[in-house]
Amino acid sequence: MTKENTTSLEKKSLSGRSALSLLEFSSEEIFHLLDEAVKLKENPYSQALKGKTLAMIFEKSSTRTRISFEVGMLQLGGHAIDLNAKELQLGRGETIADTAKVLSAYVDAVMIRTTKHERVKELAEHATIPVINGLCDVFHPCQALADLLTILELKGTFENIKVAYVGDGNNVAHSLMIGSAKVGLNVSIASPLGFEPNQNLVEQAKKIGKETGAEIVVMNDPLEAVKDADIVYTDVWTSMGQEDEEEKRKEIFHPYQVNQRLMEKAKPTAHFLHCLPAHRGEEVTADVMDGEQSAVFQQAENRLHAQKALLKEILK
């Protein structure tokens, strides 16, 4: 199903590893996680993490991240603790370093969904247990793992497959780009001028792509990006924390709306993906979001399976 050389990874354990971004994982490790996710999707219940506890810190609101991590731990025989940052001493000025040391004494891993990547890195620096990035301003690695799993299910391979991402060059775009480069998946990203992905990360993805055969292209023309694409992907135009820019962004991003006209530029067999939540009538029209080409809810379900694979491997 995936690359044959993934079997060699079994000799190298992922136990104890943090997951701050997909840059820290090799191509073989990502393929291994995807293989594990497929197995866990087929057989969801086990006692693989019996006695293990995951602390979940939320500094940003969540639906899919919170539920999928909590359910994932339960299905693997473990336990998850939902921690609202405002209810922790973090909300009263306790340092991340102190919080990391305390949690390291109590639980087996920490997942954090926060505003700045620096906070994720600081937590991992001072923790003696694995730290998982549930989302920050730069990366969304768990979403990218679910995206790759979904694409693999839809297309059966990553070879000669093109993903077109249309919209804000944000954390989702960064992780999709890096994850795709790692597995040899071609990506074309179209963003408005001034809203392109981080150039340093683009260069890193292109460098990785040279080794895996992935072509990474960034442009401003959405029609050109979507041409002959197998997957068309978008995200909201205004992320949490950008509400004051909402009206300005609607005007700038309007030409990047994924609608039937744009989908017609992709292959007839193309599928539509969205990391959710979606705003019908803004970044995507309702007929695309709810149409036959949409696989967004399969993609949302795969957050559970991909994250279970990650949890199992780093906590086993």
Distance CA 188, CA 206 (A): 11
64 is in an annotated binding site: yes
Distance of CA 310 to the CA centre of its chain: 12
35 is in an annotated binding site: no
DSSP, residue by residue, 121-183? HHHHHH-SS-EEEEE-SS--HHHHHHHHHHHHHHHS-STT-EEEEES--SHHHHHHHHHHHHH
End-to-end, the C-alpha distance of the chain in Å comes to 24
Q: 276, 300 in Cβ contact below 8 A?
A: yes
Query: What type of residue is 299?
Result: Q
Is 17 known as a binding-site position? Answer: no
- The count of residues in the chain is 316
Task: For residue 140, say whether it is annotated as part of any ligand binding site.
Answer: yes
Residue 136 annotated as binding?
no
Residue 111 known to bind ligand: no
- Is 303 assigned a ligand-binding role in the annotation? yes
Catalytic residues: 113, 140, 143, 235, 275, 303
Q: Is 311 annotated as a binding residue?
A: no
Residue 307, annotated as binding a ligand: no
Binding positions for L-ornithine: 171, 235, 239-240
Binding positions: 62-65, 89, 113, 140-143, 171, 235, 239-240, 275-276, 303
Binding positions for carbamoyl phosphate: 62-65, 89, 113, 140-143, 275-276, 303
